Amino acid sequence: MTTYLIRSSAAKLRTLIGFLSLLVAISLSLTSVAQAGNKRTHVDKSKKVAVVQGKRIAVSGKTLKRRGTIQKVVVASKPSYGQLAGLHTGSDDLNLKSSVALIVDQETSEVLFSKNDKAILPIASLTKLMTGLVVSEANLPLDEMITVSQEDVDTERGSSSRLHVGSVLSRGELLHLALMSSENRAAHALARTYPGGMTVFTSLMNAKAKVLGMKDTRYVEPTGLSSSNQSSARDLVKLVNVAHGHPLLRELTTSHSYQLEVGKRTLQYNNTNRLVKNPSWDIGLQKTGYISEAGQCLVMQAKVAGRKLIMVFLDSAGKLSRIGDAERVRQWVESATGVAEGAPN
């Protein structure tokens, strides 16, 4: 009887040990799978990208429950209007990465190069060039203080800003930030506080476009966050030409950087166009822009090989490729006129 009890207890103990070992094995297996998954996919919520097997991919921010696990939905970046229209499928002699380009001699109006220049596309923050033109021509006091309000916060795309609600800046400071650093709250505050408010300001933007003969252009707001702000390269050449005639706009758009005191904070801003700091470029006016529907955009007035040129690049594939396109055009013009690259113009 005693022997039987000992054998029975030993059997129960072996069974218990076996069960516990099974639990430990399952736990280790689940941990290993989770760690492997974490190595393959990491989501950076602040930048809305995922790192999948070493590659950074845009993510939708949504989750999907599949086979008992929660997985991040990984999606490609939203295609631009130009991509949807098939404008990127064609090639050109300069191998530009922008689907739309137009290079015009400012003094003679001669078209040196064109590519899909009639296409009407979203123009993103190129919009702010018209915003600056309307403000500049109104001759409003640049030292008038304006408070950034909740109305100036971007509800279109949820973009961030270092200009907190309640920040107080002069109209001149807001204009500087809007044109140099493409500050959305600055541009919105300029329009909101314009005599008559936002509705009047937007109407003036469209009225000015009509006066300039910009038949393909439409504005619905002053920042460029809306994809409904649209234009063509031909129209933008006209805008750049007129804006270049304003010394204030030339100064602010080509400013390298700007530091200002906002409350107890010191804010440092830089130009969104790296070419303004490049000594081999002589840029008289410029503006960059980007939203997903518009792609990367750039307009400039620059002196190249002794010629004053207006350059328009829309729907470029990347932030650096619009700069690369400008460099390709400059080299092409210099080569055609026999001017060595980097030589004084």
Which residues are catalytic, by number? Answer: 125, 128, 182
In which order are the strands placed within the sheet that holds 111-115? 111-115, 98-105, 307-316, 295-304, 283-291
Longest dimension (CA), the chain: 116
For residue 332, which amino acid is it?
Answer: W
CB atoms within 10 A of CB 135: 27
Q: How far is CA 193 from CA 186, 200, 261, in A?
A: 11, 10, 21
Closest CA to 117 of 275, 313, 298: 313
Half-sphere exposure of 323 (CA within 13 A, CB side): 11
State the Cα torsion 328-329-330-334 to the nearest 10°: 100
Rounded Cα distance, 291 and 50, in Å? 20
Are 296 and 321 in contact by the 8 Å Cβ rule? The answer is yes
In DSSP terms, which residues pair with 169 in a beta bridge? 146
